[in-house]
Structure 1
């Protein structure tokens, strides 16, 4: 006989309250400044790459082009990710503000 034990019931996870709007918007400021800094670095790197073409034999050219593409891609991705994080935190702050305005008694209980 196979000893079959019943599946344990999943534990109830208590719902956490939303962070305060000020905390969300301070995170928005940090993420947007990081996004802007990554944008400036990306623009500078692209300008530098465009002004100095790679030199060397065929293999060296291919490697240089691949590395340049990867560097620009990673910097562009960092700019986009930090920008999306800033947007998400901004919207979370708005949602948190609306929730606190809709349910003022839940804030007083905390």
Structure 2
């Protein structure tokens, strides 16, 4: 006889203001770290000019540098937006908890 074991179904944990603030702190920290990385990369690129007479090399190097800084800036922006969204969700949940009538 084939007996199948019941599988664990993932249950969704409702969001709480504390979880939202914790997630926002983590996301904000990562966003700030990416900001510092972006500034460091841009400063390093600015201190090291391109030494070439070939126009193709200059164009490709400029494009790669722009791409690298842009990707890091995009990651920083995404983490920043996530941080703002989680903080807004925490405020919304706090307001809902404070205005919800208590049934005892």
- Match for residue 50 of structure 2? 54
Of 35, 39, 45, which aligns to 1:39? 35
Aligned length: 92
Q: 2:99 aligns with which of 96, 99, 102?
A: 102
**1:101 to partner: Cα distance:** 1.1
Report the equivalent of 2:83: 86
Distance 1:104 1:24 in 2: 23
Unaligned runs of 5+ in 2: 1-11
Structure 1 residue 63 corresponds to structure 2 residue 97: no
Q: TM-score, normalised by structure 2?
A: 0.81
Distance 2:42 2:82 in 1: 24
Q: What value does the CA root-mean-square deviation take over the aligned residues?
A: 2.0
Q: Which runs of 4+ in 1 moved over 4 A?
A: none
